[in-house]
Amino acid sequence: MLMRCGPGCHCPSPSPSNLIPKRVTSKESCQATDGKHRQSQKMIHSLFLINCSGDIFLEKHWKSVVSQSVCDYFFEAQEKAIDVENVPPVISTPHHYLISIYRDKIFFVSVIQTEVPPLFVIEFLHRVADTFQDYFGECSETAIKDNVVIVYELLEEMLDNGFPLATESNILKELIKPPTILRSVVNSITGSSNVGDTLPTGQLSNIPWRRAGVKYTNNEAYFDVIEEIDAIIDKSGSTVFAEIQGVIDSCIKLSGMPDLSLSFMNPRLLDDVSFHPCIRFKRWESERVLSFIPPDGNFRLISYRVSSQNLVAIPVYVKHMISFKENSSSGRFDVTIGPKQNMGKTVEGVVMTVHMPKAVLNMNLTATQGSYTFDPVTKVLTWDVGKITPQKLPNLKGIVNLQSGAPKPEENPSLNIQFKIQQLAISGLKVNRLDMYGEKYKPFKGVKYITKAGKFQM
Amino acid sequence: MSGNGHSYGEQAGEAAPELAQEAAPTTAPSVPAAFGLFSSDTKKNEDLKQMLESSKDSAKLDAMKRIVGMIAKGKNASELFPAVVKNVASKNIEIKKLVYVYLMRYAEEQQDLALLSISTFQRALKDPNQLIRASALRVLSSIRVPIIVPIMMLAIKEASSDLSPYVRKNAAHAIQKLYSLDPEQKEMLIEVIEKLLKDRSTLVAGSVVMAFEEVCPDRIDLIHKNYRKLCNLLVDVEEWGQVVIIHMLTRYARTQFVSPWKTDDDVVEEYNENNFYESDGEQKEKDRNVKKTYTMDPDHRLLLRNTKPLLQSRNAAVVMAVAQLYWHLAPKSEAGIVSKSLVRLLRSNREVQYIVLQNIATMSIQRKGMFEPYLKSFYVRSTDPTMIKTLKLEILTNLANEANISTLLREFQTYVKSQDKQFAAATIQAIGRCATNITEVTDTCLNGLVCLLSNRDETVVAESVVVIKKLLQTQPAHHGEIIKHMAKLLDNITVPVARASILWLIGEYCERVPKIAPDVLRKTAKSFTNEDDLVKLQILNLGAKLYLTNSKQTKLLTQYVLNLGKYDQSYDIRDRTRFIRQLIVPNEKSGALSKYAKKIFLAQKPAPLLESPFKDRDHFQLGTLSHTLNSRATGYLELSDWPDVAPDPAVRNVEVAESAKEWTAILGKTKKEKPTEKFYSESEEEEDESASTGATESESGSESEKEDKEEGSSDESSGSSSSSEESSDSESDSKESTAKKTSGAVKESNAEESKKKAKGISKNRNTSSSSDTESSSSEGSSSDSKSVSDSRSDSDSGKSGSATSSKKEEKTAQDRKTPSKQDVFLLDLDDFYPVTTPVAVPTAAVLSPSLTADLEGLSLSGSSVIDQVTTQVFVPTKTHEMLHRMTGKGLSAHYHFSRQPDMFGDHMVPVQVTVTNTTDQKIENIHIGEKKLPLGMRIHEFNPIECLEPGGSVTVSMGIDFCDSTQTASFQLCTKDDHFNVNIQPPVGELLLPVTMSEKDFKKEQGMLTGMNETSATIAVAPQNSTSLVIIEKVVKAANLGVVPSGQDNIHRFAAKTVHSGSLMLVTVELKESSTAQLIINTEKTVIGSVLLRELKPVLSQG
C-alpha cells in the first residue's frame, strides 16, 4: 500500500487504491523524498484538498513541490479509521507530517516538515475553510473548483512561506473581491478582474481587522445573542450535565471608524469569554464593558460560557419508552416531548434524531405531529416535530422491526434533540446599551436573542 | 478529466529528467521534439501561448487563469515559462499576480529564464508605494534560484531598515526563505534578525521571532534586550505571531529564571546542606527566610502577567500556547487558571478537541486538581468520534479519586453498553485502572467486571477477562471463586486473548483451585489442535505448572499435550514444547536447571502496572507536534531545565527606552509583596531581613522611576516607549497612539505626558504604601492600571468613564482608610495573646444606620450604589472547632469569622484561628502546610507561630478566598514534628461583606434582580422576635449583612455583597399579620441566595 521509494528509485509503485488511479506515477513519488530540495522550512509546506472519494482536486505549494504521493499515507490512515470522523488529525510519515481537518466533506491535508504547534496548523486550516465559506457561500468541492483562481489567490495571500500573512477577511476582501453574479457577468464582458486595484491599507494599521473608507447610507449594527444548551440527561430525566454556551454574532455596517461599547445588564453571568481581537481586554477586565472598533460586516464578537454555578433551566422534557422483546423480532417505541421552563416562549424547530441499534430493520410509527423518516442504511430515525404547544404534546409511537435471530440490543439508543427558542437567552443575559463614539451619525441598533439546543442528549 | 489524468502521468515523467538537469539548464522547453508524443497537449499549450502573446489583457488573463487552474490540479505547465515570464511587467494587477503565482511555482525549474524577471522586481523594490515594495520583496525571495542570493541579501538588508513596518515584516519573512535557499548566509542573516528584533512595531514582532526560531534558535542572547518589549507588545501582535512568540519565550524563560516550583520543599533541603556549618537554630530560621524570600524575577512575572489575557483569545492555538507556558513556567498554584480556557476549547472542532484533550490528558496525570472541577465536561457523548471518546475516557480515569469514583463508575457503566465496541473495551480497561489506583473500589470494580463476563458481546467479555486477570495478579490473595467462575466460562469464550488469559490465571494459581485445574487441562488438551497459537502456548504453560505441582493427576495429560506440541506447525510452539520438556521431565541428560523448574515456572511475578499511555509524554513540551505524536519531531527544540542559579537578570535591562517598562514591572511586584513583608517585620523581628530586601526593592523601583522622569524629558526616544505603554491602556484610543508611535512626530508631547503619568503613579504608590493595602498577585496588575487610569482621567476630564472611575476611587480611598486601623488591631492580637475572642460593638451601628445612609444618599447622588462597603455591624462570637485536642495530640484549634473587610485583600474572608497548647511541652513552629483547595480558592496563611508555651494560646489571622462557595478549605496544620488535616467550612453568611445603601437604591437594585434571581419564603416568626431591634440583631448575627434604613416599620432590609465576586445580595424581611413574615433574597448568585435563605429561616422562627 505504501510507496516507500528511496531517491532515484524507479519502481513502478503498486496502485495504492483503485480510487485514485491518476496518482500512480513512479517518478513523482521519488520526487517527494528527493534530497535535492532543502527542506528545513517551518510551518505549512503544502496543502492538498481531497474529496470524499479520494480525489486530490487541488494542491498548493508554498515552498518546493511535494509530490501528491505523500497523501497515500493519509489514505492509508483513512482506510484504517473506517469512519471519516476517526481519521487522526496528525499523521506521521517518514519525511513529513500530515495535519488534516475535515470540513464539509473535504479533507484539507497540510504537509509539515518540522516541529510546529499542531493547533496552529489546524486553526489556520479552519480559517482557510472559513474564508472559502465566506467567499463562495459554501465550502464545497464544486465551489472551489469553479473559483480555482480566486482560491489560489487567496491561499497566496493567506500564507507567505508557510507562515500566515493576511487571515482577516476584511483585508482579504480588499485584496481580492469575492465573486458575485453581477460582477462575474461584468467581468466576462469587460475583462476586468476580481483583484482589487486599491491597495489594502488595513494591513498597515494597528486595526488590521477593519478596512478603511467604509461607507453606508443606512448605518446599522445588529447583534445576535445565540445561546446553546449542552446537556446530558439520564434515563430518569435528571440532568447529568448541563451547560450554556453562547456567542454574540454581529453584523455591523457602519461608516467610518466607529468606536463601539456594548454593556450588559448582568455581565457577571459571563464566566469564561473569548474575544474577537478587536475587543479591548483591559476595559473588559476593569469595567465589564465590551469596547471595540468593529470589523466591517459579519463577525463573531465574543463567545462565552455561563458560569457553572447557575443552574441551567432545561426547556423541554422527553418521556420515552423504547423496549425490545427478548426472542422476538419486534419492539415498542413511544416518545413524547413536552415543554418545561420555557419562560413563556414557544419552543420551535424541534427535531429529534435517534441512532437506532444495528439490529433494527425498520420502524413503523405514527406521529401526532410533524413527520418522521427512518433511514434503514444508517439506522437513523429523524423526527421533525416543529413547534411544541403545551395543549397537545407531540407523540411518536409504533413498532420497531428487528432483524430476526439477532440478539436483543442491550442498550436503549440515546435521543438527540434540537430546538430553538426565539427572543430568549436562556441564561438571562441581557444587553444593556450600545454606545458609539468617533462618528456623528445615529446608527440603527438591534439585538436579537435566540436559544438553541447544542449537544442535547437524553 | 480521465484523459487528462492519463497524459498527465506521462508528462510528469518528462518533468523528472528536466529536474535532474537543473544545474545545466536545458534549452527552451518548447522544443517540439521533446513533446512530440503529446501533440494534443502541445496544441492546447500553443493556444495558451498565443493568448499570452496577444495584445489584449483579457486574453492574457484568460490564459493565466487556465494556467493557474492547471497548476492547482498538479499538472505540469512548465513549458509555458517563457511566454508567461514576459508578462511579469504587465500593468494589469491581476495578470501580474497570476504571473507571480506561476513564477513561484516554476522558477526553480527554469532558473535562467527566471532571471529575466528579476530586474522588474528590483525596480519595484524602489517603488514609493510600500505595498508594492513589500510584494516585490515577497516574490523575489520566493523565487528559489541560487544565483540571485546576493541580490536577495541586499534587498533584505535594505528592506529591514525600510520606513514601513509592513515592508520590514516582509523582510523578516524573506530571511527564512533565503536561509533555506542558502544556509551559508546565516551570519549575515543573524545580523538582520538582530536589527529587526529591536523593531517596535507589532507587525514585525511575530515574523521576526519566526525567523529567529528558524535561523538561530540557539542564540538566546539576542532576546535579552528585547525580552521586555516582546512581553509588552504581545497583546497587540497578530494571533499567529503570538503563538510563535509565546513558544519562544517559554524556552527563553526556562533558561533565564529559577524554578518557581522549588519553594515548597526542595529548597529547604538544599539550603540545609549549604548551611551545614551553621548552628541549628540559625539554620532553621534561615530556612524559613529562604522559603519566604523566593521572589519571582519581575521579568518572569511580567511574562506571566502579559500572557494571561491571551487565554481569552478566539484562536485555539494562542490559548494552547499560553496554557503550555503556564504549565511550564508558572508556580504550581497559578497554573490552574488555564484549565477553564482549555475546557472551553472542547466546544470547538473535532481536530482542536483532539489536540487539546491530548494535552489535558498529560496535564491531568501530574496535577489532578487542575481539571477536577470540570470533570463533567469530559463526559462522553454518543456522537463523539471514537478517538475523542477514548481521550475523554483517559482523562476521566486520570481524574478519578476517592470522592468522585462512584459517579464515574456509574458513568462508565453506560459507556460499557455503548454500541461502539472499541470504546466499550477501552472503558473496561479504564475501570481496571481505576480499580488498581483506588483501593477502596477495587472489589466493587472487580465484581462489576465479573458481571460483565456474562455479557453477550464477546469483545466486552474478552476485555473483561484480560482486565480481571491483571487485577487478580495485583492481589491474588482470595479470589479463588472468580477463578473458578472464569474456568467455567472457558467453554463459551472464543476470543484467543481471553482464553489465554484464563488459562494463564488457572496455571498461575493452580494451587488455589486444585480440583478444577486438572480438569481444565483435560478439556483443553482435547481441543489443543484447534486452538489459536496464543492459547496453545498457555495450555503448555498450564500443563507444565500442573506437572510441577500435581504431577500425580496430570503427568500423562501433560505429556500428551507436549507430544501434540512437538509436531505443531508453529515453530514457536515446537520450541516452547522442547524447552518445557527439558525443564520439567526429569531424564538423565537434563541439566542443573530442572531442579529449579518450579522456581522458574511458579516464581512470584510482578503485577502489571495499569498505567496511562500519557504517563511519559510530559517530557515533551506541551502543545507541540512531538507531544501529539509522542516522538521527537524533526526540529523539536528541547525545553531546558530550570537553571539552579538565575543568570544575571541585568542583561535584560535596556539603558534608555526600557526603563519605563522596568518600573512598571517592579512596581507591580513591590505592590504585591510589600504588605506581607511589612506584616512580618512588624510582628516578628527576626524576619527583618526579608523586609529589608523588600524595602530596597521598592527603593530601586522609585529610583528607576525617577530616572525615567528625567530621561523622559531629556531623551526623545523614551517618548515612543511610553506611548506603546499607553496603547496597552484601556482608556486611550489605540489607533491614535500607534499612529504617534509610528510617525514619531509628537514625541515631545508624549514625553510630557509620560512625565505626568509617572508623577501620578508615584503619588499613588506613596499613598498605597503608607496605608498598606494588600492586593493579591493577580489583582496587582489590574489595580495598577486602574490607578493609572484614575490619575489620567483626572486630567483628561473625560466624562464617559468618570462615573465608574470615581466609584473606584471612592472605594480605594475607603480601602486605604480602614485597613490601617486593622493593622494595629492585628498587631495587638499577635503580640499580646488575647485570651478571649474579640467582643462586638453592635449598638452604635445598629441604631444609626438610617442617619449614615441618609448622608450617603446625599453625597453619592445615585452615581455609586453598591460598592460602599461598611464596617461590620456585628461580630459573631461563635467559634467553630478546627482541631480537637485529642486528635491534635494536645494541640487544639478553634476558628471564628472576624468580619473585618479588606484585611487580606478584596476576595479574602478573614478568619481568626485560636491555637491552644494543652500539653505540658512546648509546641514549636505551628504553620500551615499542604493545602488541598478546590479550584480558585486561595489561602493567605498566618505567619508561623514560633513557639507555644504549655497551656498558652495564640490567636492568629488568616484569609481565605472561598470563591463565593461553601466548599470547605482543607489544609494541614503543621507543627514541628506533626501535621493534622483540618477543614474550614464557611457558613454562607460569612461570605458576604455588608454594604450600605439608601432605601431608594435598594429598591432600584432589587428591581433589577427579579425573576430567577429572587428566592423567597414565608416563615412563622416567634413572638419574641417581632420587634425590629431583635430582628436586625438576629439577622445580622447570622449573616454579615449591612442594615438598610427603612421607612416602614414592618419591612427590614439588609444589603451585602459577596466577598469574591462582589455580587449584590439583598435581603428583605417583611412582617405580616399573625406572626408570619416574608423573607426575600435577591441576588445574581442564586445558589448562595438559596442557601442563605435556608439558613436565615430558622434564625427568625426560633426563639
Adjacent-strand bridge partners of A246: A227, A304
pLDDT for B67 beyond 50: yes
Mean pLDDT, residues B505-525 taken together? 80
- Neighbouring residues of B1077: CB distance < 8 A, sequence distance ≥ 6: B1018, B1019, B1020, B1021, B1069, B1070, B1071, B1100
pLDDT for A255 beyond 80: yes
| Chain A environment of B69 (Cβ under 8 Å) | 148-149
| Chain A environment of B142 (Cβ under 8 Å) | 160-161
Stronger pLDDT, A263 or B1062, i.e. the higher one: A263
Q: What is the pLDDT of residue B294?
A: 66
Mean pLDDT, residues B597-620 taken together? 72
Mutate to test the interface with B, among A110, A149, A343, A424 (most CBs of B within 10 A): A149
Mean pLDDT, residues B73-93 taken together? 80
pLDDT for B743 beyond 70: no
Mean pLDDT, residues A97-120 taken together? 87
Phi, psi of B784 (to 5 degrees): -55, -55
Q: Touching check for B418 and chain A: CB below 8 Å?
A: yes
Lowest mean pLDDT among A31-40, B93-102, B278-287, B916-925: A31-40
Lowest mean pLDDT among A160-169, B470-479, B967-976: B470-479
**Beta carbons of A275 and B312 less than 8 Å apart:** yes
Stronger pLDDT, B437 or B41, i.e. the higher one: B437
Mean pLDDT, residues B56-78 taken together? 82
pLDDT by residue (tens digit) across B90-145? 777 778 888 888 888 888 787 788 887 888 888 888 888 777 888 888 888 888 78
Of A59, A161, A190, the CB nearest to B142: A161
3-state secondary structure of B1082: strand
pLDDT by residue (tens digit) across A395-446? 888 888 877 766 666 667 778 888 888 887 777 788 888 888 877 778 787 7
Cβ atoms of B80 and B11 closer than 8 Å: no
Residue B1075 backbone zone (phi > 0: left; psi -120 to 50: alpha; other: beta): left
Q: What is the pLDDT of residue B796?
A: 42
Mean pLDDT, residues B447-472 taken together? 77
Q: Within chain A, what is the greatest distance between any pair of CA atoms?
A: 77
Mean pLDDT, residues B838-846 taken together? 40
Q: Touching check for B656 and chain A: CB below 8 Å?
A: no
Of B72, B316, B382, the CB nearest to A60: B72
What the block records as the C-alpha cell of A31 is 520526487
| Chain B environment of A197 (Cβ under 8 Å) | 93
What the block records as the C-alpha cell of A249 is 454574532
**Beta carbons of A240 and B376 less than 8 Å apart:** yes
Q: In whole angstroms, what is the distance from residue B553 CA to residue B572 CA?
A: 27
Of B456, B739, B1084, the CB nearest to A266: B1084
Among B110-119, B233-242, B1018-1027, the range with the most confident prediction by mean pLDDT is B233-242
Q: What is the pLDDT of residue B610?
A: 67
Q: What is the pLDDT of residue B69?
A: 85
**Beta carbons of B633 and A97 less than 8 Å apart:** yes
B639: pLDDT confidence band, cut at 50, 70 and 90? Answer: confident
**Beta carbons of B180 and A41 less than 8 Å apart:** yes
Mean pLDDT, residues B936-950 taken together? 77
Chain B: residue whose CA lies nearest to A246: B347
Of B22, B624, B800, the CB nearest to A117: B624
Chain B: residue whose CA lies nearest to A116: B625
pLDDT for B211 beyond 80: yes
pLDDT by residue (tens digit) across A304-358? 887 665 567 778 888 888 877 766 677 888 888 888 765 677 788 888 888 887 7
Of A27, A230, A283, the CB nearest to B12: A27
Residue count of chain B: 1103
Q: What is the pLDDT of residue B665?
A: 40
Cβ atoms of A113 and B349 closer than 8 Å: no
Q: In whole angstroms, what is the distance from residue B1096 CA to residue B1103 CA?
A: 13
Of B68, B376, B734, the CB nearest to A149: B68
Say what the ipTM of the complex is.
0.82
Q: In whole angstroms, what is the distance from residue A288 CA to residue A293 CA?
A: 16
CA distance A187 to chain B (A): 9
Q: Cell numbers 490567636 label which residue?
A: B955
pLDDT by residue (tens digit) across B300-322? 888 888 888 888 888 889 999 99
Contact residues, B window 544-583, toward A, CB-based 8 Å cutoff: none
Mean pLDDT, residues B839-855 taken together? 40
pLDDT by residue (tens digit) across B763-793? 444 444 444 444 444 444 444 444 444 444 4
Query: How large a percentage of chain B has pLDDT more than 70?
Result: 70
Q: What is the pLDDT of residue A334?
A: 86
pLDDT by residue (tens digit) across A355-389? 887 778 888 888 888 888 888 888 888 888 888 87
Q: What is the pLDDT of residue B717?
A: 41
B824: pLDDT confidence band, cut at 50, 70 and 90? Answer: very low
Stronger pLDDT, A173 or A142, i.e. the higher one: A142
Q: What is the pLDDT of residue B831?
A: 39
pLDDT by residue (tens digit) across B18-46? 433 433 333 334 334 334 344 445 556 77
| Chain A environment of B8 (Cβ under 8 Å) | 22
Contact residues, B window 766-785, toward A, CB-based 8 Å cutoff: 782, 785
Contact residues, B window 182-201, toward A, CB-based 8 Å cutoff: 183
**Beta carbons of B352 and A117 less than 8 Å apart:** no
Element housing A33 (H / E): none
Q: What is the pLDDT of residue B588?
A: 61
Q: What is the pLDDT of residue B512?
A: 75
Q: What is the pLDDT of residue B814?
A: 46
Mean pLDDT, residues B676-700 taken together? 40
pLDDT for A183 beyond 70: no
CA distance A42 to chain B (A): 7
Count Cβ atoms below 10 Å from residue B420 Cβ, excluding itself: 18
pLDDT for A179 beyond 60: yes
Q: What is the pLDDT of residue B102?
A: 85
3-state secondary structure of B1017: strand
**Beta carbons of A119 and B623 less than 8 Å apart:** yes
Query: How large a percentage of chain B has pLDDT more than 90?
Result: 0
B900: pLDDT confidence band, cut at 50, 70 and 90? Answer: low
Lowest mean pLDDT among A286-300, B278-292, B1084-1098: B278-292
Mutate to test the interface with A, among B65, B94, B409, B800 (most CBs of A within 10 A): B94
Stronger pLDDT, B726 or B248, i.e. the higher one: B248
Q: What is the pLDDT of residue B587?
A: 66
3-state secondary structure of B478: coil
pLDDT by residue (tens digit) across B150-192? 888 888 888 888 888 888 888 888 888 888 888 888 888 888 8
Q: What is the pLDDT of residue B542?
A: 84
Q: Touching check for B128 and chain A: CB below 8 Å?
A: no
B858: pLDDT confidence band, cut at 50, 70 and 90? Answer: very low
| Chain A environment of B343 (Cβ under 8 Å) | 272
Cβ atoms of A426 and A315 closer than 8 Å: yes
Supply the mean pLDDT for chain B: 70
Stronger pLDDT, B641 or A97, i.e. the higher one: A97
CA distance B379 to chain A (A): 8
Q: Where are the beta strands (DSSP E) in A42-89?
A: 44-51, 56-61
Q: What is the pLDDT of residue B732?
A: 41
Lowest mean pLDDT among A179-193, B434-448, B964-978: A179-193
B516: pLDDT confidence band, cut at 50, 70 and 90? Answer: confident
Chain A: residue whose CA lies nearest to B74: A59
Mean pLDDT, residues A110-127 taken together? 88
pLDDT for B517 beyond 70: yes
Contact residues, B window 152-181, toward A, CB-based 8 Å cutoff: 164-166, 170, 173, 176-177, 179-181
Query: How large a percentage of chain A has pLDDT more than 90?
Result: 0
pLDDT for B284 beyond 60: no
Q: Cell numbers 531546558 label which residue?
A: B640
pLDDT for B593 beyond 70: no
pLDDT for B706 beyond 70: no
3-state secondary structure of B1057: strand
Adjacent-strand bridge partners of B972: B981
**Beta carbons of B312 and A205 less than 8 Å apart:** no
Q: What is the pLDDT of residue A188?
A: 54
